[in-house]
């Protein structure tokens, strides 16, 4: 099986499981998955977030997801428990499709590591 086929199968599995768990079976999109990862990483699961908080949660997720690629490094938790990252390397300029593949690969790796999928 090619790397692309394996990524697609694993991505579909992530989407299916998260859609069932969080979207009543509706198909969850990439942004929603990133948001959920941000909430998971913050660890404050049962609260409501303002719009600015939601953007920050997505930023946390992106930093966490791209940390293994060397783009970000965890720095510290602030007094409210929010993680902060430093930029280690600027992200390369990628076309939209390339960005999507990078994020899907990072998300699949995140959920493989968490043993959410196999």
Q: What is the mean pLDDT of each run of 10 residues along the chain (118 residues)?
A: 91 96 92 97 91 96 98 97 96 91 97 95
Q: Does residue 56 belong to any structural domain of this protein? A: yes
pLDDT for position 96: 87
For residue 19, give the H/E element and its range. helix 3-22
Cβ-Cβ contacts under 8 Å for 99 (sequence gap 6 or more): none
Q: Does residue 118 belong to any structural domain of this protein? A: no
pLDDT for position 66: 98
pLDDT for position 26: 94
Q: Tell me the whole-structure pTM to 2 decimals.
A: 0.92
Cα gap 60→85, rounded to integer Å: 8
Cα gap 114→118, rounded to integer Å: 10
- Number of independent structural domains in the chain: 1
Q: Does residue 23 belong to any structural domain of this protein? A: yes
Range of the domain at 76: 3-113
pLDDT for position 64: 98
pLDDT for position 15: 97
- In 3D, which of 85, 54, 53, 83 has the Cα closest to residue 68? 85
């Amino acid at each position: 099986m090619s790397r692309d086929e394996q990524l697609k199968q694993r991505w579909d599995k992530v989407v299916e499981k998260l859609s069932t768990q969080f979207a009543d079976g509706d198909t969850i999109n990439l942004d929603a998955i990133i948001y959920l990862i941000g909430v998971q990483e913050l660890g404050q699961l049962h609260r409501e977030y303002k719009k600015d908080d939601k953007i920050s949660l997505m930023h946390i997720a992106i930093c966490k997801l791209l940390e293994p690629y060397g783009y970000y490094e965890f720095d510290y938790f602030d007094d409210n428990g929010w993680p902060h990252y430093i930029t280690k390397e600027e992200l390369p300029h990628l076309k939209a499709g390339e960005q999507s593949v990078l994020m899907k690969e990072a998300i699949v790796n995140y959920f493989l590591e968490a043993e959410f999928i196999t």
